[in-house]
Structure 1
């Protein structure tokens, strides 16, 4: 069984898997890469899981819009909301990089 660590996209710059919605050539490249990937099914299930859902990029051969439609069809509900806790007081925060 292949894992996502064995995926084809793990072998090159991951930016290629996050084309702009208007970048048809980039989307086609990402989908073609997924189509040849042994971890495609695992990747798609990961992307549909409410705990790891991503609203961008191509995962498992589907764009974010296509995944949203599949989520709706499968009635998978909303993504889990991440809770990072309370912000620390301003005096305890790390200064932003300049």
Structure 2
């Protein structure tokens, strides 16, 4: 028995996993932005250090997390599109060569 949905289903599963991963990166970038080091955590004399640390952390880490999230999300969307293309092409071929009729018992 033949089945044309195996590869597209596997690709869709991969796309869903990537989309989930993308969400984790977005959550992480929000966490970085929402959890800044307190101004006096290093004492009165370390106040400027905390400010510089927070600013640099936001510039470096948060932006990289957001960029990575965007890339992963785009990959998920493209893999889902490839699954759709495979499914449609495979369906055409299966009809052309009579495999659909075999599956339906015709």
TM-score (norm 1): 0.24
Greater relative contact order (Cα 8 A, min sep 6): structure 1 or 2?
2
Q: Which has the larger radius of gyration?
A: 2
TM-score (norm 2): 0.22
